Amino acid sequence: MREDWLEQAKTKEAADPWAALPDRFVIPPHTLYFDGNSLGLMSQKSRERVEAVLDEWSTLAVLGWDRGRDPWFTRSERVADAVGTRIGARPGEVVLGASTTIMLHQLLATFYTGGHILIDSLAFPTDRYVAESFLSQRGRGLESLVVVPSGPGDLLNPEDIVRCATDDVCVAILPSVVFTSGQRLPMEELTRELRHRGVMVIWDLSHSAGLFTHQLHDENIDAAVFCTYKYLHGGPGSPGAAFVHQRHWPLNPGLKGWWGSANDQQFLMPDDFRGAADTSALQLGTPSMLALAGLQGALEAVADVPVEALWSRSHTLLRFLEQMAEEALVPLGVRCMTPKTMRGGHLAISHAEARSLSVKLRARGAISDFRYPHIIRLAPVPTTTRWHDLVALVETLEELLRAEDWMAIDDTGRVP
Ligand SMILES: Cc1ncc(COP(=O)(O)O)c(C=O)c1O
């Protein structure tokens, strides 16, 4: 290993008050894990919580819905509030449901007032599919989808977003962090500018929830959706989440389901929908206790760690990674795509042989991910990444780039 980098890693670790955080998680053996922006690693507490649900199910069966200190009936709301504490939401402003995709359908159905929907050309595919299918249900075609083009370097220019928010646009769907490049958008500023033009922004916080020091309530954000399986470590397929600022209460959900009922009305089973007073009116059907359990455990695992500390750790890890990448990888044909002044949680690098490089990295136990056509995303996660992991990752990348032993891989990812 490069001695100078290792020395730097040791010095940084010694100065890092949260260097031992990764011990609270299970790191797969012989693995350098840099894919926490796809799926966060499992916390020890998540296993305990999942096992506790199995115990409750086996001993209480249906009585679990209202027995004990943490009855299933209202558990989703308590876990949603705990999620809310990680993004600066007030109690009742966060709701959990099946997936981010479903939550986005729900928010559009609830807040759409007719008109165009604005989205960016780099949006995560599901956001665009939701917008298109939503418009088509309303009898509208693609002419109602305003797509903001990206500029040089595959980056979005916030001024272009504002410029595209013409009078016909009523809702915008925008990411806090672009999932490919790792570019961060100025949320407060864009929310203000777009609101001024009569546009409500629904933010997709999948790549920042649990990582950024969001203050959604105080920043007067209207609405957001996000995954809980990335930086919040909820586990594969853990609930999707939505935030709606309390000034929009009471809500008239566009999609209604019996779990959106006020708790004291739900089992009266009335013909008319009597919704909860807060954002939980957006719940649809029975929440999965098993899916919630992983998330609940993960939130407990970091309950004593301020989000500020995570964000600061993320930032310093990322800067160290970027510094080594610039020193060793850029001379070998790599481009660092993530803009230095607008960083999210991961470093995106691009290379002509990115797909092959990514396959070879994984074969060496370094898990990152590839995004078509030439991007590799490297996510140093503040909860689970160790300083020396970064050195090992860059050294592995450097070796593979020097070897230039590329594989022929077709566009579907298959090795012929
Ligand atoms: C930015 C973004 N939005 C939405 C999603 C999709 O979320 P889900 O599969 O939970 O609906 C993802 C998944 O990775 C994502 O990265």
The answer to whether residues 173 and 280 belong to one domain is: yes
CA distance 371 to 350: 10
CB 212 within 8 A of CB 188: no
The answer to whether residues 295 and 309 belong to one domain is: no
Give a yes or no: residue 233 inside a domain. yes
CA of 79 relative to ligand 1 center, distance in Å? 20
78-95: burial string, b at 16+ Cβ within 10 Å, e else: ebbbbbbebbbbbebbbb
Strand duo 366-367 + 240-244: pairing: unpaired
Of all residues in the chain, the percent with pLDDT exceeding 90 is: 94
The answer to whether residues 367 and 392 belong to one domain is: yes
Give a yes or no: residue 409 inside a domain. no
Give helix 289-301 / helix 72-85 axis angle, nearest 10°.
40
The answer to whether residues 288 and 360 belong to one domain is: no
Write out the two tokens for 394. Answer: 């860059």
Strand duo 347-350 + 375-378: pairing: antiparallel
Q: What is the pLDDT of residues 78-107, one digit of tens each?
A: 999 999 999 999 999 999 999 999 999 999
CA of 406 relative to ligand 1 center, distance in Å? 30
Q: What is the pLDDT of residues 205-260, one digit of tens each?
A: 999 999 999 999 999 999 999 999 999 999 999 999 999 999 999 999 999 999 99
* Omega before 373 within 30 of 0, i.e. cis: yes
Q: How far is CA 357 from the centre of its chain?
A: 25
Ligand 1 atom with minimal separation from the 102 CA: 11
Name residue 97's beta-bridge partners: 240
CA distance 67 to 52: 14
The answer to whether residues 53 and 25 belong to one domain is: no
Residue to probe by mutation, ligand 1, list 206, 226, 228, 346, most atoms within 8 Å of CB: 206
Ligand 1 atom with minimal separation from the 227 CA: 10
Residue to probe by mutation, ligand 1, list 124, 177, 346, most atoms within 8 Å of CB: 124
* Domain edge (last residue) among 253, 273, 301: 301
pTM, 2 dp: 0.97
Percent of the chain that is helix, strand, coil (3-state, to 5): 45, 15, 40
The answer to whether residues 23 and 91 belong to one domain is: no
Domain count of the chain? 2
Other Cβ atoms less than 10 A from the Cβ of 105: the count is 24
* CA dist list (Å): 262 to 23, 62, 98: 40, 21, 19
* CA dist list (Å): 53 to 63, 70, 75: 13, 11, 12
Q: Where are the alpha helices (DSSP H) in 138-178?
A: 158-164
What per-residue confidence (pLDDT) applies to 1?
A: 65
pLDDT level of residue 415 (50, 70, 90 thresholds): low
Give a yes or no: residue 414 inside a domain. no
* Domain edge (last residue) among 272, 301, 330: 301
- In 68-159, the DSSP E strands lie at 94-97, 116-120, 145-148
CA distance 157 to 153: 11
CATH number at residue 87: 3.40.640.10
* Domain edge (last residue) among 253, 272, 301: 301
The answer to whether residues 297 and 378 belong to one domain is: no
Lowest mean pLDDT among 156-170, 299-313, 402-416: 402-416
Residue to probe by mutation, ligand 1, list 100, 103, 105, 127, most atoms within 8 Å of CB: 100
Name residue 349's beta-bridge partners: 336, 376
CA of 256 relative to ligand 1 center, distance in Å? 22
Q: What is the mean pLDDT of the chain?
A: 96
Write out the two tokens for 133. Answer: 């299918």
CA of 126 relative to ligand 1 center, distance in Å? 7
The answer to whether residues 178 and 97 belong to one domain is: yes
* CA dist list (Å): 84 to 91, 214, 241, 357: 7, 10, 10, 38
CA of 303 relative to ligand 1 center, distance in Å? 24
Q: Quick check: 360 pLDDT over 80?
A: yes
CB 222 within 8 A of CB 320: no
Q: Quick check: 416 pLDDT over 60?
A: no
The answer to whether residues 358 and 214 belong to one domain is: no
CA of 114 relative to ligand 1 center, distance in Å? 25
Give a yes or no: residue 415 inside a domain. no
Give a yes or no: residue 408 inside a domain. no
Give a yes or no: residue 410 inside a domain. no
Ligand 1 cavity residues, CB under 6 Å: 99-101, 124, 126-127, 175, 179, 204, 206-207, 227, 240
Q: Quick check: 69 pLDDT over 90?
A: no
What per-residue confidence (pLDDT) applies to 413?
A: 62
Residue to probe by mutation, ligand 1, list 126, 185, 238, most atoms within 8 Å of CB: 126
The answer to whether residues 167 and 213 belong to one domain is: yes
CA of 371 relative to ligand 1 center, distance in Å? 14
Q: Quick check: 132 pLDDT over 70?
A: yes
DSSP letter for each residue of 198-224: T-EEEEE-TTTTTTS---TTTTT--EE
Dihedral of CA 274/277/281/287: which sign? negative
Q: Quick check: 315 pLDDT over 70?
A: yes
Give a yes or no: residue 75 inside a domain. yes
Ligand 1 atom with minimal separation from the 103 CA: 11
CATH number at residue 386: 3.90.1150.10
Q: What is the pLDDT of residues 373-390, one digit of tens each?
A: 999 999 999 999 999 999
What per-residue confidence (pLDDT) applies to 339?
A: 95
CA distance 148 to 219: 24
CA of 207 relative to ligand 1 center, distance in Å? 9
pLDDT level of residue 405 (50, 70, 90 thresholds): confident
**59, containing H or E segment:** helix 44-60
The answer to whether residues 19 and 55 belong to one domain is: no
CA of 7 relative to ligand 1 center, distance in Å? 38
Write out the two tokens for 110. Answer: 């609830």
CA of 124 relative to ligand 1 center, distance in Å? 7
Q: What is the pLDDT of residues 20-43, one digit of tens each?
A: 999 999 999 999 999 999 999 999
Residue to probe by mutation, ligand 1, list 156, 179, 225, 377, most atoms within 8 Å of CB: 179
Strand duo 240-244 + 94-97: pairing: antiparallel
Ligand 1 atom with minimal separation from the 123 CA: 1
Write out the two tokens for 39. Answer: 């799926």
CA of 84 relative to ligand 1 center, distance in Å? 19
Of all protein residues, the one whose alpha carbon is nearest to atom 7 of ligand 1 is 100
Give a yes or no: residue 413 inside a domain. no
What mean pLDDT do residues 183-191 have?
97
The answer to whether residues 279 and 135 belong to one domain is: yes
Of all protein residues, the one whose alpha carbon is nearest to atom 14 of ligand 1 is 38
Name the residue range of residue 170's domain: 47-301
